[in-house]
Structure 1
Amino acid sequence: MNISILGCGWLGLPLAKALINKGHTVKGSTTRREKVIDLQEEQILPYQIELFPEGIQGDIDAFLSKSEILIVDIPPGVRRDPETDFSGKIKELLKHLTKSSIKNVLFVSSTSVYKDTEGFPVYLESSPPNGNSPAAVEIIAAEKLLTENSNFRTTIVRFGGLLGADRHPVNMLSGRTGIKNPKAPVNLLQQEDCIEMIQKIIEREAWGTVFNAVFPEHPEKESYYSEKATQNLLPEPEYDQKSASKGKIIASERLEEVLRFEFKHKI
């Protein structure tokens, strides 16, 4: 197939390489000029594209042309800038998407669309997103824009916290004090499982649905990160034990039911 990946970053780049290895033709985008050569070296057809609420910089129409599938994997950027209009960027994308050859869209979303509360509720794919943080509001709005458009079918994949050989939250938490929500369950998964999951969605043509994507074990935040710190010879984080912990448990039932997916990499 011809596949376009909007955002060849930490997840998008290895995903593109995996899809090429499966025989697909992949176009990939980056916002940085110097990375265009890196994409080219990996046999990815490179495009320099950046989305803004006021318009799109780069040849977005050529990027979408002749592709049947679009994978949208761009960070909302709301944590860095709470005023970021992420859904406005998706609106601009839709102007081009609706007149393109794209038949199916996979939108890389986040479990942050579900609210953390005391009591740690369990959220299924059928649970309506109820997050009210700036990031959650923008992501929920973006999901809605894509799923309500009848020109293509959209599958939403709500990933938990992503781990990889070069990326683990313990590195940021190590040595910190006053960390909130020590008793909250963790919702994590490994990069390799993310990539295999997306490939299965494409292979099985699982379009027009929602998947929660989190490893099925949910250890307590404090014990999990303390153990990981010890394993990596890092100073343990210290937690705020006075405030009540808020959190959630994300269930990934549809991955097993629809894709027959099995997680191969422990968190």
Structure 2
Amino acid sequence: MTKISILGCGWLGFPLAKNLIAKGHSINGSTTSENKLTILKEVGINRFLVALESESVSETICDFLAESEILIIDIPPKLRAVDPYSEKKVFVDKINNLIPFIEKSTVKNVLFVSSTSVYSDENDFITEETFPDPETESGKQLFLAEQLLQQNHNFETTILRFGGLIGEDRHPVKHLAGKENLENPDAPINLIHQNDCIGVIDAIINQSKWNEVFNAVAPFHPTREEYYTQKAKEQNLDLPKFDSKKSNIKKVISSEKIETILNYQFKLDQY
């Protein structure tokens, strides 16, 4: 049994915690909502109310990390309200404030959930060897946070860069249905299902693959127009309409390293 702390028991962190508990691990889970504490307790998660701010960290952070060997950081940057011209690095500051507490804890390994948004939108085949060149504020701060964690020698960090997240209750087609003049009809999709997110994390933990970087995207890349049109038909939604004259980014994120190093097979029937 391994003691694991999951910072952020949200859309991914909560089902991940349940999966890891079922496999015999002891899980500390955090939430920022008091209303969710009971839900975490009901499934066997040792629950903690932890708020990670740009200027402070909740006093509960020490108890949350106590006796854990692994810390999984799964908190979104949430930077939409941040002025893009501001010098404030809100998310980076949060991670910077967290690091001294990790250093003083029993945590030996950190898994940081990042995003493929750290790569630029170029017509390219992207691997882990591709140097990040983020264009969005969120991507920029994620990349800076990655560097802060991996450069720290008090623990080993694996970076997991997810593509677009989908699941039974989460799919971009619901947002795109019925819309017109959509860009990038010929651009390949780069998505990953919640079940594969959990499967990849489980493989990293089981195989102790630390101090690594992985791009986590299913090896399934039909064009946006093909994929979302088909998904709209399957769900009886209004078909999205694409404009072929609008820019076509041909970026493909490779998952070869995950398939090779982790020997992981994506469950493509759920896409």
Shorter chain as denominator, the TM-score bin is over 0.9
The answer as to whether partners of 2:50 and 2:58 remain within 8 angstroms in 1 is yes
Q: In 1, Cα distance between the equivalents of 2:83 and 2:209?
A: 33
- Displacement of 1:156 in angstroms is 0.5
The answer as to whether partners of 1:82 and 1:134 remain within 8 angstroms in 2 is no
Determine whether 1:121 maps to 2:124: yes
After TM superposition, list the pairs within 5 Å mapping 1:82-97 onto structure 2: 82=83, 85-97=90-102
Determine whether 1:102 maps to 2:103: no
Determine whether 1:131 maps to 2:152: no
SS across alignment from 2:209: coil
Letter in 1 for 2:100: K
Q: Which structure 1 residue ranges, 4+ long, deviate > 4 Å from structure 2? A: none
How many residue pairs get aligned? The number is 265
Q: In 2, Cα distance between the equivalents of 1:98 and 1:190?
A: 33
SS across alignment from 1:199: helix
- The percent identity for this pair of structures is 47
The answer as to whether partners of 2:219 and 2:254 remain within 8 angstroms in 1 is yes
SS across alignment from 2:180: coil
**Which residue pairs with 2:145 in the alignment?**
142
**Which residue pairs with 2:261 in the alignment?**
258
Higher alpha-carbon deviation: 59-68 or 170-179: 170-179
**Which residue pairs with 2:239 in the alignment?**
236
Q: Which runs of 5+ in 1 are unaligned?
A: none
After TM superposition, list the pairs within 5 Å mapping 1:37-76 onto structure 2: 37-76=38-77
Q: Deviations over 1:115-163 (max 9, x none)?
A: 112xx20110111111121111100000000000000000001111111
**Which residue pairs with 2:198 in the alignment?**
195
After TM superposition, list the pairs within 5 Å mapping 1:212-231 onto structure 2: 212-231=215-234
The answer as to whether partners of 1:47 and 1:58 remain within 8 angstroms in 2 is no
Determine whether 1:154 maps to 2:154: no
Per the normalisation by structure 1, the TM-score is 0.96
Q: In 2, Cα distance between the equivalents of 1:58 and 1:173?
A: 42
Determine whether 1:171 maps to 2:174: yes
- Displacement of 1:249 in angstroms is 0.4
Q: In 2, Cα distance between the equivalents of 1:13 and 1:81?
A: 27
Per the normalisation by structure 2, the TM-score is 0.94
SS across alignment from 1:183: coil
- Displacement of 1:80 in angstroms is 4.6
Distance 1:263 1:25, change over 3 A: same
Letter in 2 for 1:62: D
Q: In 1, Cα distance between the equivalents of 2:153 and 2:182?
A: 44
Letter in 2 for 1:108: V
Q: Deviations over 1:181-230 (max 9, x none)?
A: 22111001111111111011001000000111111011101111011101
SS across alignment from 2:57: strand
Distance 1:97 1:238, change over 3 A: same
SS across alignment from 1:14: helix
Q: Which runs of 5+ in 2 are unaligned?
A: none
Determine whether 1:11 maps to 2:12: yes
Q: Deviations over 1:162-192 (max 9, x none)?
A: 1111111101111122322221110011111
